[in-house]
Amino acid sequence: MKKINGIIMQYFEWYMDCKQNLWNDIVRNAEELSDLGITALWLPPAYKGIGGKDEVGYGVYDVYDLGEFDQKGTVKTKYGSKNEYLNCIMTLKQNGIESYADIVLNHKMGADMLQTIPATKVDFRKSQ
């Protein structure tokens, strides 16, 4: 059996105006994307960003809010609701398309206030 290389498509860009509807747009286009030979989609960060409905996703506010909590002036993220996101992933899978989530866990500038995190310095050389 001949191995075929896959085609991954980045399905977002910084300035896109998706009107909190990207997940539904992908669902509507999934069959066509599959027919075109797309085998995977790279999706934008799905969690709530500091800019609410206008946040691309790199100014992380709440990594656990995929569009289900009323925070930053919106329930949905820039791309849609949690249920729409999950439906998007299921629809892609049903059409033979893998999904890759862009997740940036170290961008923590989106909090409501400063928080002090205690840390203990450890010298591993002394413990050997």
What is the DSSP secondary-structure string of 27-68?
Answer: HHHHHHHHHTT--EEEEPP-SEETTGGG--SSSEEETT-SS-
Is 82 a member of any domain? Answer: yes
Is 126 a member of any domain? Answer: no
Question: What pLDDT, on a 0 to 100 scale, did the predictor assign at position 8?
Answer: 96
Is 68 a member of any domain? Answer: yes
Is 78 a member of any domain? Answer: yes
Q: How many independent structural domains does the chain possess? A: 1
Q: Report the CATH number that the domain containing residue 40 is assigned in CATH.
A: 3.30.750.90
Considering the entire predicted model, what is its pTM?
A: 0.84
**Beta sheet of 98-101, edge-to-edge order:** 8-10, 40-43, 98-101
Query: Which residue segment(s) compose the domain that 92 sits in?
Result: 8-101
Neighbouring residues of 67: CB distance < 8 A, sequence distance ≥ 6: 46, 48, 75, 76, 77, 79, 80, 81, 82, 83, 84, 85
Is 107 a member of any domain? Answer: no
Q: Please write the tens of the pLDDT for every residue from 78-116.
A: 999 999 999 999 999 999 999 999 988 777 777 788 878
Supply 117's token pair: 């995190």
Is 77 a member of any domain? Answer: yes
Q: Please write the tens of the pLDDT for every residue from 36-91.
A: 999 999 999 999 989 999 988 888 899 899 999 999 999 999 999 999 999 999 99
Q: What is the average pLDDT across 29-33? A: 98
